[in-house]
Structure 1
Amino acid sequence: MSERSARVELVVASFDDPIVTGLLAEARPRADASVIGQAIGPAVVPRPRSGAAPYGGHVPDAGVVFVVARRADVPDGPVGCAGLRRIADDTAEVERLYVRPPYRGQGLSRLLLAGVEDLARRRGFAVVRLAAADLRVAGLYVSRGYVRIAPFGRRPSPSVCFEKALPAIGRPSR
């Protein structure tokens, strides 16, 4: 089986699932010095000291849910994730889109983005927003139908943000 044809499974996980915390720790190797780790395979699951905030000072929000990508041919864990956070009644934010370095360039970011958009739609959101941490990925967002918007929330004015209207799914009749 070639790397490109490996079957990818998307699963939903909570913000505190060890699979998610391991990916987030790997994505932020220079996390706050207050974080100590517990090794599990190639990833590190952060475990804050009492009163310390993991993820470089950011306390994970219990309202964030993640879509995690797993491949059957990767025995050492997940290959990427993307988070979804509610920011208004009909609007959600896509955050922490991450693919482990050995698996980049295989379309997993696009797959994760589609998966988290589908999750948002199934949860009743009409719009998803995101902030591009790296402008090299802006092309991915535009190719998925995102349009550039002014910074939202507490983002500083130089932030590059995007938004996408989600097509409605069939609603059950009452």
Structure 2
Amino acid sequence: MPQRPTAISISPARPDSAAGRAILRAYFDDIVGRYHGRPATADEIDRVLIDEPSDDLVPPVGLFWVATDGATPVGCAGLRLLPENLGEVTRVFVAHGARRRGVGSRLLTGLEEIARTRGLSRLRLDTRHDLVEARRLYTGHGYVEVEPFNDSPYAAHWFVKPLA
């Protein structure tokens, strides 16, 4: 008898919680591997977790959400709360086994709703050239490509979305 899929739930979490650490490790495993064109090593993932901490994704300067399928973390999204009613979307990720189930869209929509309730008037984000699925998700949600707003060596595309 086929197993019935569990419902995906999304809830706030701390990046340093067990679920937060697990999904951020999966996130960096995916993007570091894509960057190098080969599977990432454990040492590479450990290094990027140190070099690019997510400790700014906690109140009062940021927020973080984890999507779970049952007890298994399968996605995440972060929001940095910046001056002038600006938010920066970061760490949007869906694990391979949970893709094409609307998880990324639900994470992004939820993040935008929370941003509105916090009085943010616009969101921005940057992404790499090879993260084609991410760019498709952002443009599908109304993000518009703009001129660079940072000097990240990894960013190749910058997007902004006004919040109504």
- With structure 2 as the length reference, what TM-score do the two structures score? 0.76
Corresponding residue number in structure 2 for 1:85: 80
Once the two structures are TM-superposed, the CA of residue 150 in structure 1 deviates from its matched residue by 1.1
Percent identical among aligned pairs is 29
Number of aligned residue pairs: 146
Moved over 6 A (4+): none
Does the C-alpha gap of structure 1 residues 7 and 35 become closer, same or farther in structure 2, counting only changes over 3 Å? closer
Give ranges in structure 1 of 5+ residues lacking alignment: 37-52, 168-174
Q: How does 1:18-97 map to 2 (within 5 A)?
A: 18-29=18-29, 30=40, 33=43, 55=49, 57-62=51-56, 63-71=61-69, 74-75=70-71, 77-97=72-92
CA RMSD of aligned residues (A): 2.6
Counterparts of 1:87 and 1:154, CA distance in 2:
17
Moved more, 60-69 or 89-98: 60-69
Shift, 1:14, TM fit: 2.1
Name which one, 1 or 2, has greater alpha-carbon Rg: 1
Q: How does 1:58-137 map to 2 (within 5 A)?
A: 58-62=52-56, 63-71=61-69, 74-75=70-71, 77-133=72-128, 134-137=131-134
Counterpart Cα distance in 1 of 2:53 and 2:67? 23
Give the CA deviation at 1:140. 1.7
Which runs of 5 or more structure 2 residues have no equivalent in the other structure?
Answer: 30-39
Q: Which has the higher helix share?
A: 2
What TM-score, normalized by structure 1, do the two folds share?
0.72
Q: Is the 8 A contact 1:70 1:78 kept in 2?
A: yes
